[in-house]
Chain A
Amino acid sequence: MSKRTVELSVATPGTDAQGNPLRVPIPASPADVDPELGGEHLLINLGPQHPATHGVLRLVVELEGETVVRVIPHVGYLHSGFEKLGEYRHYNQIVPLTDRTDYLAPMSNNVGVVLAAEKLMGIEITPRCQVLRVIACEMSRIISHMVWLGTTSIDLGAFTPFLWAFQQRERIYNLQEMWTGARLTTSLTRVGGLMADVPDKFVTDLRHFTETYPDTLDEIDRVLTRNGVWVGRTQNIGVLTAEEAINYSLSGPMLRASGVPWDLRKDKPYLGYETYDFDVPVGEHGDVYDRYLVRLEECYQSNKILKQALDRLPQGPINVDDPRVILPPKSHAMNDMEAMIYHFKQVMEGVKAPVGEAYAGIENPKGELGNYFVSDGTAKPVRWRIRPPAFINLASISKMAEGHLLSDLIAINASVDIVMGEVDR
């Protein structure tokens, strides 16, 4: 049997100057340590069916005692062939598919895909449609962050914020149902407009929501932000510096928590975001705690944007006035020959896009959601590529978790805010 010197040490929550976890050696005399002890790494498997992996994610973790030496995520357990399906669907038929990718923020996905299609076809939407899409995006941001908050607190041991967060989600679900008819799979947008206009009750109910929602956020803030357990479990965990975050192509709150002040709504504005008054929270340390603070503050800011959007909601049509792109109203289609022909062509053949390609990125709650369409002149795209923020953010988990404890790995995994529908598409 070969002799091996074994140094036993345990990781502590503190960090040294380089940001590595401080390890404290365990003093032991060579006589009483079995040479086999401490030499073997344990390989454990978390998932794909696991309560803390936020979906069907599989983490293969190499452990030295309780410390993570390496973690390798396996994805693809929810791969549904979206991009292949998109090549067999008209542009408007792709919109229901996008509900199912990031199912926590469906309206935001719907907006993202039609922005790319409209860029490809060169369509300018109406002012009312712009403001309504901003409302849709910010509502989606709120519900996505509420799921994130609820599930992260469950992972770290606090059950009650989950119930509070989901109660707020129910209020937004009521609004989504009022607008689109569906709680979750909204299919809100169409190329050139929206599926339907908001009913009057929607505006009053949403205004009431924006007035009472910050109270729940304050409650959650009071319970978590200065809570010893919460802070102890999230500070200095999963640190990524700004350079690393940029190199790993992170986006959204993951990028901003590491100190990079990049937000597509401010830096590459779309849907008139440059005209709204809101702040973008940027973190400092790039740890789990900063990501929590960034997301919590984003909820407050989304509320602020919703109030402004409701105030400035203009009257007017929601759909562009182009019968080749938008279905004419049934009354016209049944009475006017030309409208009937337009209706027929759109339903049977779809709207043909010009040859070319277009990429449109939006600030999804998870990060930069990009839709890339390549068209060959037909009504179905040649290639539909979804640039998935959660997929790219998740790849950094192997970097973030090295040297941390197994329970920290759960916190880090929660902080990435993944939704497997988007990771795997």
Chain B
Amino acid sequence: MNPSANALQATFGNAIGRVVDARGETIVYVAPAKVRDVLAWLKNTAGQDYNYLVDVTAVEYRDRERPLEVVWNLRSLSSRQDLRIKVELDPRGELVVPSVVDLWAGANWLEREVYDMFGVTFTGHPDLRRILMWETYAEGYPLRKDFPLRGRYSRSEQVRQALNVNPEGHYSMEELAIADAYDELPRDMRDRLARGERDKIPNSE
């Protein structure tokens, strides 16, 4: 059993749910409201020093009654300890957890992938958009259990939707440095961006 689990229970009390110790791994369930504090405490406290984020992912069970879990795998390089922090969310409700990009920069793409595959929103993430599927992918969130293996649409519809995506169309706000150059953009481009139409390239005049 990882001693951090006891330290967590001592520090955060009720916010810590059950602790599982199996197969040499320690898993701590944390209340969703306090998970950001718990993760920050684990990283910043001397003696814990979980400076390495191994993975961020999510698990949805086949049993619809079980919650959807968001999982953070942490590691302390100095003490060679691994710790798994889990948060349980209602799979039929809103899936929102705080982002930890400011704690571990490696979480950026990992959280984007969980958003893409499960639809979990990470509040505070600087650039939360789809990463593995294209940004205007409309079929849903692939790794959810109610998403069929071969997708929701027919094959011809999937091909048609894929071919209609403009390969050049995916620029994010960040890439175009909109914030810097907003004033100098042409009027119609500003209007388009305000309407949220980021992937349409207008016909040239």
A424 within 8 A of B: yes
**Contact residue among A62, A75, A88, A248 (Cβ-Cβ distance under 8 Å from B132):** A75
Stretch at the interface among B11-19, B49-57, B195-203: B49-57
- Complex interface bits, A345-384 against B, C-beta within 8 A gives 1, otherwise 0: 0000000000011110100000010101010100000110
With a cutoff of 8 Å between Cβ atoms, the chain B residues found around residue A85 in the complex are 149
Within 8 A of B (CB), among A37-96: 41, 43, 45, 60, 62, 70, 72, 74-76, 79, 81, 83-85, 88
Q: Mark B163-174, 1 if CB is under 8 A from A, else 0.
A: 000001011101
Cα of A368 to Cα of B106 in the assembled complex, Å: 14
Residue B41, interface by CB 8 Å = no
B53, closest chain A residue (CB): A249
In contact, B105 and A247 (Cβ under 8 angstroms):
yes
* Chain B nearest Cβ from A244, distance in angstroms: 8
Asked whether A383 lies within 8 Å of B59 as measured between CB atoms, the reply is yes
B134 within 8 A of A: yes
Q: Mark interface residues in B149-173 (1 if CB within 8 Å of A CB, else 0).
A: 1000000000000000000101110
Instruction: Name the distance in Å between B155's Cβ and chain A's nearest Cβ.
Output: 14
The answer to whether residues A376 and B174 also contact, given A356-B22, A356-B23, A358-B25 and a CB cut-off of 8 A, is: no
Contact (Cβ within 8 A) A385 B55? yes
**Would you call A224 an interface residue if the criterion is a C-beta within 8 Å of the partner chain's C-beta atoms?**
no
Contacts of B73 in A (CB 8 A): 359, 370, 372, 387
Which stretch (B31-39, B60-68, B89-97) binds chain A? B60-68
Residues 131-161 of B, flagged 1 when their CB comes within 8 A of A and 0 if not, give 1111000000011000101000000000000
Whole-angstrom distance from the CB of A55 to the nearest CB of chain B?
14
Contact A267 B80 (CB under 8 A): yes
For the complex, give the distance between the alpha carbons of A45 and B174 in Å. Answer: 15
Are A62 and B143 in contact, with the CB atoms below 8 A?
A: no
B142 cross-chain contacts in A, Cβ below 8 A: 81, 84
| CB interface residues, A 210-267, toward B, < 8 Å | 244, 246-250, 260, 262, 267
Q: Are the CB atoms of A392 and B106 closer together than 8 Å?
A: yes
* A119: Cβ under 8 A from any B Cβ: yes
* Number of residues from B at the complex interface, CB < 8 A: 47
B193 within 8 A of A: no
In the bound complex, do residue B149 and residue A88 qualify as a contact, i.e. CB atoms below 8 Å apart? yes
A173 close to chain B: CB less than 8 A? no
Q: Which residues of B contact A249 (CB under 8 A)?
A: 52-54, 104-107, 110
- For window 252-292 of chain A, which residues contact chain B by CB distance below 8 Å? 260, 262, 267-268
Cβ-neighbour of A246 out of B27, B51, B147 (below 8 A): B51
Q: Give Cα A248 to B101, complex, Å.
A: 10
Identify which of B63, B71, B84, B110 contacts A392 (C-beta below 8 A). Answer: B110
Q: Is the CB of A72 within 8 A of B175?
A: yes
Instruction: Identify the closest chain B residue to A80 (Cβ).
Output: B132
Residue A391 interfacial (CB < 8 Å): yes
| Chain A facing B: main interface SS | mixed
The one of A122, A382, A391 that contacts B59, using a Cβ cutoff of 8 Å:
A382
- Asked if A395 is an interface residue, CB under 8 A from chain B, the answer is yes
How many of chain A's residues have a CB under 8 angstroms from any CB in B?
51
Q: 12 A-B residue contacts at CB 8 Å? A: A41-B177, A70-B177, A72-B172, A76-B130, A76-B134, A120-B23, A249-B54, A260-B77, A359-B25, A359-B73, A372-B73, A385-B55
Q: Which residues of A contact B131 (CB under 8 A)?
A: 75-76
A396 to B106, CA, bound (A): 8
Assess whether B108 is interfacial by the CB under 8 Å rule: yes
B residues within 8 A CB of A391?
109, 113
Tell whether A248 pairs with B105 under 8 Å between CB atoms, given A75-B131, A75-B132, A370-B54.
yes
Residues of B close to A81: CB separation below 8 A: 142, 149
Residues of A within 8 A of B25 (CB): 357-359
Is B179 an interface position by the 8 A CB rule? no
| B46 located at the interface, meaning its Cβ lies under 8 Å from any Cβ of chain A in the complex | no
Does B22 lie within 8 Å of A248, measured CB to CB? no
C-alpha gap A395/B63 in the complex (Å): 34
Of B63, B106, B117, which contacts A248 at CB under 8 A?
B106
Q: List 12 additional contacts besides A76-B130, A247-B51, A387-B73; criterion CB under 8 Å.
A: A41-B177, A81-B142, A83-B143, A246-B52, A356-B22, A361-B54, A368-B54, A372-B57, A382-B59, A382-B61, A387-B54, A392-B106
Interface string of A144-159 (1 = CB under 8 A from B): 0000000000000000
- Report the bound CA distance from A45 to B106 in whole Å: 24
A312: shortest Cβ distance to chain B, in Å?
Answer: 26
Check A62 against B52 for contact (C-beta < 8 Å). no
- Rounded to whole Å, the gap between the CB of A408 and the closest CB of chain B is 20
Alpha-carbon gap, A39 to B59, bound state (A): 48
Which residues of chain B are within 8 angstroms of A376 by Cβ–Cβ distance?
A: 61-63
Chain A minimum-CB-distance residue to B131: A76
Judging by beta carbons under 8 Å apart, are B149 and A76 in contact?
no
Q: Which residue of B lies closest to A72 (CB)?
A: B175
Known: A356-B22, A356-B23. A60 touches B80 (CB 8 A): no
Taking CB atoms, residues of chain B closer than 8 Å to A425 are 132
Contact with B along A406-425 (1 / 0, CB 8 A): 00000000000000000011
A250 to B54 CA separation, bound complex (whole angstroms): 9
Distance in angstroms between the alpha carbons of A358 and B27 in the assembled complex: 11
Contact check, B143 vs A79: say whether CB atoms are below 8 A apart. no
* Distance A88 CA – B108 CA, assembled complex (angstroms): 29
With A and B bound together, what is the CA distance between A52 and B24 in angstroms?
Answer: 43
Q: List, in ascending order, chain A residues with CB within 8 A of B22's CB.
A: 356-357
B176 interface residue, CB < 8 Å from A? yes
